[in-house]
Amino acid sequence: MDGLLLARWQFGITTVYHFFFVPLTLGLSLLVAIMETMYVRTGNEIYRKMTQFWGRLFLINFAMGVVTGIVQEFQFGMNWSQYSRFVGDIFGAPLAIEALLSFFLESTFLGIWIFGWDKLSKGLHLVTIWLVVLGSNLSALWILIANSFMQQPVGYTLRNGRAEMTDFGALLTNPNVWVQFPHVFMSGLVTASFFVLGISAYNLLKKKGNLELFRHSVNIGIVAALIGTILVAMIGHTQGQHMVQTQPMKMAAAEALWDSESPAAFSVFTIGDEKTRSDVFAIKIPTLLSVLSYNQLTGEVKGINNLQAEYEKKYGPGDYVPPVWLTYWSFRGMVGAGTVMVLLALYGLFLILRKRLEQRTWFLRLLILAIALPYLANSTGWLLSEIGRQPWIVFGVMKTNDAVSPTVGGEAVLLSLVIFTLLYGILAGADVYLIAKYAKGDNEAGSGLEETPMAGAY
């Protein structure tokens, strides 16, 4: 049995699944913290109710993100022991710092936040949620510092048969981190804002529960959505330009650009043949890819065939082309979903300013469906990032084929793959059930819960 292939599937499934929950944690913690800040500053009860309503949904989601994250930390050693040995000197450091700096912070203060409503002063209680926001987002920063080393290795030297760190500062200032982290941070905000918008829209449509709560939520949600979608797109653009410089093959595959072009055309829709590396059918806009790559009308963008030849010279014989179909469509999935979200946010703001949101029931329905868009964009974004880097696990330094654990047999990986997939499937069911249940306005927090002993968490 092909242990390598199974290990890759397992990593892919568990990572994409993990990242269903992470962006919502990142963004919703921030929105809940903003709501509680408004409560503490104004003393208005509506903000306390909002904090508790969205806080409960945040907790249900948070738990899933945490537990699936443990798998991530363990499986580098379990399935990718050769990788761990080869880059542990560099890659282990940010992971350890992530645990020490972020996991402790978010988990400890979240515990205090959940149970501390009556034990702490309002101000101190507010501080605890902001520390959760800080912890979660620092965790994203450190794991992206680690991931950026795989995309753009810096601050290392090859010594003693492995990659060794020579400059910790270079890891932190890796240019890839500072395009990737803001992109992920903003995508978290987008995920949370569409989550808030969709659920609020549902309740406004059904006229269930405390409508005032959902009107306030929509206002916060739409501002966050607008800021988030526009910034995520702008940073994404910079990130694409960075990719052209550092991983041109990924960009070539994302565009199905078989041969170098100058100026290069942007593909709107391509059906290609990966074997012959040619287009079967394509709609293209001339020069646009050069404009996107360099902000000017000229400039060569390298194609797959040219890069393949270049890499063979540089790294020896081999296939250096990632799966083009998946990379190409992942890119389009991400950008497409992002574009739709920008438009929805703009139109939503327009309706709110003209006080017509609640009359436009078709738009409210659309917002419910739009909850799925950030998830589509987040997942396809990571597929582009990780699959587009193949065959490398660390770009230009180590190939994925050489990274797998030599002593973990295919049968064992198959078994764990089946176990994780089944378990994750069941948990997804339970999670969606609870989110749907607590998303209904008549399940609103703060409606007499205080009087019931032990009501609420645990």
Partner 1 sequence: MDLNSFWFILITVLFIGFFFLEGFDYGVGILLPFLGKNDADRRVIISSIGPFWDGNEVWLLTAGGAMFAAFPNWYATMFSGFYLALVLVLVALILRGVAFEFRSRDESPKWRSFWDWMIFIGSFLPALLWGVAITNIIEGVPIDDKMNYTGGFWNLLNPYALLGGLTFLALFTLYGAIFLSLKTEGEIMERAFKVAAKLWIPTVVLVVGFVAGGYLATDIFTRLGVNPGIAPVGAAAALLSVGWFLKIRRSGWAFIMTALTIILATFTIFQGLYPRVMISSSNPEWSLTVYNASSSPYTLGVMSWVAVSLVPIVVGYQAWNYWVFRHRVGHHSGSHL
Name which of residues 143 to 162 contact partner 1 (CB under 8 A): 159-160
Which parts of 418-447 interact with partner 1 (CB under 8 A)? 419-420, 423, 427, 430, 434, 437-438, 445-446
CB atoms under 10 Å from CB of 458, counted, come to 5
Residues 6+ apart with CB under 8 A from 177: 141, 144, 145, 148
Contact between 453 and partner 1 by CB under 8 A: the answer reads yes
Name the helix (H) or strand (E) containing 394: strand 392-394
Q: Annotate 105-122 with DSSP letters as a single string.
A: HHHHHHHHHHH-TTTS-H
Task: For the CB of residue 434, give the shortest distance to partner 1 in the complex, in Å.
Answer: 5
Query: Cα–Cα distance between 107 and 192 in angstroms, integer?
Result: 20
Contact between 77 and partner 1 by CB under 8 A: the answer reads yes
Task: For the CB of residue 143, give the shortest distance to partner 1 in the complex, in Å.
Answer: 11
Q: Annotate 141-154 with DSSP letters as a single string.
A: HHHHHHHHHHHS--
Query: Cα–Cα distance between 406 and 70 in angstroms, integer?
Result: 22
Which parts of 290-329 interact with partner 1 (CB under 8 A)? none
Which parts of 41-70 interact with partner 1 (CB under 8 A)? 52, 55-56, 59-60, 62-64, 66-68, 70
Task: For the CB of residue 407, give the shortest distance to partner 1 in the complex, in Å.
Answer: 5
User: Which of residues 1, 5, 100, 372 is near partner 1 by CB under 8 A?
Assistant: 100
CB 329 within 8 A of CB 337: no
Round the CA-based radius of gyration of the chain to a whole number and report it.
23
Task: For the CB of residue 393, give the shortest distance to partner 1 in the complex, in Å.
Answer: 14
Task: For the CB of residue 278, give the shortest distance to partner 1 in the complex, in Å.
Answer: 42
Q: Does 391 sit behind a cis peptide bond, omega within 30 degrees of 0 on the bond before it?
A: yes
Task: For the CB of residue 180, give the shortest distance to partner 1 in the complex, in Å.
Answer: 20
Task: For the CB of residue 100, give the shortest distance to partner 1 in the complex, in Å.
Answer: 5
Contact between 410 and partner 1 by CB under 8 A: the answer reads no
User: Which of residues 88, 188, 228, 236 is near partner 1 by CB under 8 A?
Assistant: 88
Which parts of 161-190 interact with partner 1 (CB under 8 A)? 164-166, 168
Which parts of 104-143 interact with partner 1 (CB under 8 A)? 104-105, 107-112, 114-120
Query: Cα–Cα distance between 344 and 289 in angstroms, integer?
Result: 26
